[in-house]
Chain A
Amino acid sequence: MTQVETSIARRDVRPFSVDVPEEDLVELRRRVRAARWPEKETVADPSQGVQLATMQELVRYWGSDYDLRRFEARLNALPQFMTEIDGLDIHFIHVRSPHERALPLIITHGWPGSVIEMLNVIGPLTDPTAHGGDPGDAFDVVVPSMPGYGFSAKPTGTGWDPVHIAGAWIRLMRRLGYTRFVAQGGDWGAQITDVMGAQAPPELLGIHSNMPGTVPPEVSKALASNVLGAGDPPPSGLSADEQRAYERLSFLYTKGIGYALEMGLRPQTLYGLADSPVALAAWMLDHDARSYDDIAAAFDGQPVGSLTRDEVLDNITLTWVTNTGVSSGRLYWENTLGFFDVKGVTVPAAVSVFPNELYQAPRSWTEQAYPNLIYFNEVDKGNHFAAWQEPELFTTEVRAAFRSLR
């Protein structure tokens, strides 16, 4: 990878393009093909983790027909930049709309994602008229790589938590000359976007989240006490929607987010993520039960929405090539916020609830969590990776969410 500095580059924002050395790809392919496997799981379902047959199909494709330069070509087709914020080089995609009065939007990806998650929404958001939309819905789009992710630099000291990142994004948007903008995110991006909404700089008109933090404190406390399976009973008086959300979250905390808790405690111990492409791929596939089902289906030739095996491997290959398995995991160690807790957002907030998200935020909790709720919609398809899997629907949601703020 070289970062290209040109004479037209401004002092602090440098153009960037991806250029992976050939030997890195040769070495990746060698490692993929030399994978040493464990035995097959002892069950007929994914209840012990990523299934051997799925991993072996992934590796077969990764080591043969998959184009290892696909992610590079996709990224280099877009204007990418690097700028230093608080001592750290931040990589970002910045696509200006052809429409004059476009609304500036910063979109933050999550784990185990990267800017790859957002590539299919950039065109429709910046150029709506080319995608059956209205010029009044145009956005200027900024998609940064979080510190320790992708082509952003890796922190060498502590402190790059979601709060720090949120502050950095506000400075990034100002540096790009935007005096009014909106922010969007899912997964870690949702937390960072919520924190931006709580920091509420004057330029931030509103936020949109596809993984809103809405869980009331007493519900959050009951969930935390049950992590080891022995705690408080569920709070009483929950509505049907709230009860369903509680049950989904309870499953998550007891069975479903071990990866997050392990990275929260011992990210450095995950040496396999740096040394073994197969380890990295499996770790990244195993985010949550529903997205795993969809990704397993993609390797079975039945992708759900746009989440194809090529998309999945673009993201994993990017993470391998940048050796960011451990540095990205460290964000969990840095974080001190409750994943789904209310973050104190005061700016106008919009929420889309996707049916296969980790939990379905009830409207009641969402109204409490975001006192200035300008948009709430439950859509009929999409998993945790909403932008990645359902880019059209996601684009429609983002347009509708921010329409009242223009």
Chain B
Amino acid sequence: MSSTVETTSEIRPFQVEVPDEALEDLRRRIAATNWPEKETIADQSQGVPLAMIQQLARYWATDYDWRRCEANLNALPQFITEIDGLDIHFIHARSQHEDALPLIINHGWPGSIIEQLKLIDPLTNPTAHGASAADAFHVVIPSMPGYGFSAKPTSTGWGPERMARAWAELMPRLGYTRYVAQGGDWGAFVVDQIGLQAPAGLLAIHTNMPATVPADLDKASLAGDPPPSGLAAEERRAYQQLLRTYGQVEYARYMAARPQTLYGIADSPVGLAAWLLDHNDADGQPAAAVAAALDRTTSATGELTRDEILDNITLYWLTNTGVSASRLYWEYKGGFFNAKGVAIPVATTVFPGEQYQAPRSWAERAYPNLIYYHQADRGGHFAAWEQPQLFTEELRAAFRSLR
């Protein structure tokens, strides 16, 4: 908190301080969980399996330590500032390299700023991670409205378009007159919107869930039609991946219609955990990368661990943001993966475990000013969380031409 721009009256330092009683109540509720019977099949096709959630709940109620996560968050410079009538929480980590490129990174559902924590040091301090000072970023990671420690909207209108406008206000407020933006999942929707709005100072965006589907194919895939003829092999694969995804996203359609009915994700920790865990990736539902993380207690290479999964879920619980976060689906009325018409410079990384692997042909049409396209060899829907080293390298490469 040494920067002068951060000490203006509108930007207040923020620390996480969860009362002991909230943690005790959480543990008590987990320990008192009333369980349903076991699923009637031997796989994950009816939802999050009972054994998986019971094993997680056992650890959550006993050895899991929220205070470790809280200390990690509080070791980072966090702030609150009011934008458009709403208090916005964000991490703001400046690089020691003065010429660093300012970067705003937007998380998604069922995520939070927890997804991005492992990126912060490599991005801001590249020389400590085997990279060049010329690759340094100043990093801003906001919590979306209704998520984490940002305030919850009390009226309608906070969709990705409005968030994009808010970020375009946040970055200049921090003193940044030229910056780039990055996102996956909802963050990808928000960065596409900010790309469309093209505010002064925004140089480019990077997305790890690019919206590239041509209009005719978007319509056909949403209607569930088989792949049209004439698609290249990569396009055909992408089309089939879209059909698979549309068959798995009932949770999203539910939240788009009835977010308020999900009282269980406010009242039941296990209800919340299961709802958050049941997001798909290309390899499974729950996401294969998340299911694998539940069995990973440590990782020297930064791969996703059980503690990180619980850090994110616990953050949702402690801030009671399950319903307010869900409401973003209700707010959004636009398309999912259809090309949105972004004209500014765009970089994209295609991860193999993402909802669909955007073919270069579609990406070039969707983003006429495509400055970077790369297919990574590992990582999925939660790319920053799953493969932080690789993700960091992608961002360095993506934005190198803009420095």
Interface residues of A (CB under 8 A from B): 35-43, 48-52, 55, 154-158, 224-226, 228-232, 255-256, 258-259, 261-262, 264-276, 278-283, 285-286, 323, 325-327, 330, 333
Q: CB-CB < 8 A to B219: which residues of A?
A: 230
Q: CB-CB < 8 A to B62: which residues of A?
A: none
Q: Does B322 count as interface, using CB distance less than 8 angstroms?
A: yes
CB of A28 to closest CB in B, whole Å: 10
Stretch of B175-183, B261-269, B351-359 with 4 or more beta carbons under 8 angstroms from chain A: B261-269
CB-based nearest B residue for A292 = B261
Stretch of B46-54, B99-107, B163-171 with 4 or more beta carbons under 8 angstroms from chain A: B46-54
CB of A283 to closest CB in B, whole Å: 6
CB-based nearest B residue for A265 = B250
CA distance A48 to B320 in the complex (A): 17
What is the 8 Å Cβ interface bit string for chain B, positions 148-177, against chain A (1 contact, 0 not)? 000011111000000000000000000000
CB of B211 to closest CB in A, whole Å: 15
CA distance A399 to B320 in the complex (A): 52
Given contacts A39-B154, A154-B37, A327-B36, contact A50 B263 (CB under 8 A): yes
Q: Does B327 count as interface, using CB distance less than 8 angstroms?
A: yes
Q: CB-CB < 8 A to B246: which residues of A?
A: 228
Q: CB-CB < 8 A to B224: which residues of A?
A: 224-225, 228, 231
Please provide the 6 A-B residue pairs with the shortest distance between their CB atoms, ordered closest to farther.
A272-B264, A272-B271, A279-B264, A268-B47, A49-B260, A269-B47
Establish whether residues B152 and A39, one from each chain, have CB atoms under 8 Å apart when the complex forms.
Answer: yes
Given contacts A42-B155, A276-B267, A278-B264, contact A48 B259 (CB under 8 A): yes
Can you spell out 26 A-B residue pairs with CB atoms less than 8 angstroms apart? Answer: A36-B320, A38-B323, A39-B320, A42-B154, A42-B327, A48-B327, A49-B259, A155-B40, A156-B40, A157-B40, A231-B223, A258-B256, A262-B254, A265-B47, A268-B49, A268-B50, A269-B47, A271-B53, A272-B267, A272-B268, A272-B271, A274-B34, A276-B263, A279-B271, A323-B37, A327-B37
Q: CB-CB < 8 A to B40: which residues of A?
A: 155-158, 330
CA distance A234 to B224 in the complex (A): 16
Range class of the B interface residue count: 35 or more
Given contacts A266-B250, A268-B50, A271-B271, contact A230 B223 (CB under 8 A): yes
CA distance A225 to B243 in the complex (A): 13
Establish whether residues B261 and A50, one from each chain, have CB atoms under 8 Å apart when the complex forms.
Answer: yes
Given contacts A38-B322, A258-B257, A262-B254, contact A330 B46 (CB under 8 A): yes
Establish whether residues B47 and A276, one from each chain, have CB atoms under 8 Å apart when the complex forms.
Answer: no
CB of B276 to closest CB in A, whole Å: 10
Interface residues of B (CB under 8 A from A): 33-41, 46-50, 53, 152-156, 218-219, 222-224, 246-248, 250-251, 253-254, 256-268, 270-275, 277-278, 285, 320, 322-324, 327, 330
CB of A50 to closest CB in B, whole Å: 5
CA distance A264 to B254 in the complex (A): 12
Given contacts A39-B154, A258-B257, contact A326 B250 (CB under 8 A): no
Q: CB-CB < 8 A to B218: which residues of A?
A: 230
Q: CB-CB < 8 A to A224: which residues of B?
A: 224
CB of A319 to closest CB in B, whole Å: 12
Q: CB-CB < 8 A to A286: which residues of B?
A: 258, 261
Q: Which of A225, A271, A274, A279 contacts B263 (CB 8 A)?
A: A279
CA distance A196 to B274 in the complex (A): 37
Establish whether residues B36 and A273, one from each chain, have CB atoms under 8 Å apart when the complex forms.
Answer: yes
CA distance A35 to B264 in the complex (A): 9
Establish whether residues B250 and A258, one from each chain, have CB atoms under 8 Å apart when the complex forms.
Answer: yes
Given contacts A42-B153, A286-B258, contact A269 B274 (CB under 8 A): yes
Establish whether residues A325 and B266, one from each chain, have CB atoms under 8 Å apart when the complex forms.
Answer: no
Q: CB-CB < 8 A to A333: which residues of B?
A: 46
Given contacts A49-B262, A225-B224, contact A268 B268 (CB under 8 A): no
Establish whether residues A271 and B48, one from each chain, have CB atoms under 8 Å apart when the complex forms.
Answer: yes
Given contacts A261-B253, A279-B264, contact A271 B223 (CB under 8 A): no
CA distance A36 to B21 in the complex (A): 14
Given contacts A38-B324, A261-B254, A275-B34, contact A268 B223 (CB under 8 A): no
CB of B254 to closest CB in A, whole Å: 4
Which of B224, B246, B250, B256 is most buried by chain A, counting CB atoms within 10 A of its CB?
B250
Q: CB-CB < 8 A to A228: which residues of B?
A: 222-224, 246, 253
Identify 20 new A-B residue pairs, CB closer than 8 A, beyond the known A258-B253, A279-B264, A323-B37.
A38-B260, A38-B323, A39-B323, A228-B246, A231-B224, A258-B250, A259-B254, A261-B254, A266-B285, A268-B36, A268-B46, A269-B47, A271-B273, A272-B264, A272-B265, A273-B36, A279-B262, A282-B263, A326-B36, A330-B46
CB-based nearest A residue for B246 = A228
Establish whether residues B268 and A279, one from each chain, have CB atoms under 8 Å apart when the complex forms.
Answer: yes
CA distance A75 to B267 in the complex (A): 30
CA distance A270 to B257 in the complex (A): 17
CA distance A255 to B270 in the complex (A): 27
Q: CB-CB < 8 A to B267: which residues of A?
A: 35-37, 272, 275-276, 278-279
CA distance A273 to B323 in the complex (A): 16
Given contacts A42-B154, A231-B222, A276-B267, contact A49 B258 (CB under 8 A): yes
Q: Which of B152, B263, B270 contacts A278 (CB 8 A)?
A: B263
Given contacts A36-B266, A271-B53, contact A266 B278 (CB under 8 A): yes
Q: Which of A258, A264, A271 contacts B36 (CB 8 A)?
A: A271
Establish whether residues B35 and A274, one from each chain, have CB atoms under 8 Å apart when the complex forms.
Answer: yes
Q: CB-CB < 8 A to B254: which residues of A?
A: 258-259, 261-262
CA distance A155 to B46 in the complex (A): 14
Establish whether residues A262 and B251, one from each chain, have CB atoms under 8 Å apart when the complex forms.
Answer: yes
Q: CB-CB < 8 A to A225: which residues of B?
A: 223-224
Q: Which of B37, B41, B256, B278 contacts A269 (CB 8 A)?
A: B278
CB-based nearest B residue for A30 = B32
Establish whether residues A51 and B260, one from each chain, have CB atoms under 8 Å apart when the complex forms.
Answer: yes
CB-based nearest A residue for B336 = A228
Establish whether residues B259 and A55, one from each chain, have CB atoms under 8 Å apart when the complex forms.
Answer: no
CA distance A297 to B273 in the complex (A): 33
Establish whether residues B223 and A232, one from each chain, have CB atoms under 8 Å apart when the complex forms.
Answer: yes
Q: CB-CB < 8 A to A275: which residues of B?
A: 33-35, 264, 267-268, 270-271
CA distance A281 to B264 in the complex (A): 10
Establish whether residues B156 and A43, one from each chain, have CB atoms under 8 Å apart when the complex forms.
Answer: yes
CB-based nearest A residue for B317 = A36
CA distance A155 to B264 in the complex (A): 24
CB of A59 to closest CB in B, whole Å: 10
Q: CB-CB < 8 A to A255: which residues of B?
A: 257
CB of A197 to closest CB in B, whole Å: 27
Q: CB-CB < 8 A to A256: which residues of B?
A: 257
Establish whether residues A273 and B264, one from each chain, have CB atoms under 8 Å apart when the complex forms.
Answer: yes
Q: CB-CB < 8 A to B262: which residues of A?
A: 38, 49, 272, 279, 282
CB of A24 to closest CB in B, whole Å: 10
CA distance A12 to B154 in the complex (A): 58
Q: CB-CB < 8 A to A37: which residues of B?
A: 263, 266-267
Given contacts A156-B37, A231-B222, A275-B35, contact A269 B327 (CB under 8 A): no
Q: CB-CB < 8 A to B275: which residues of A?
A: 269, 272
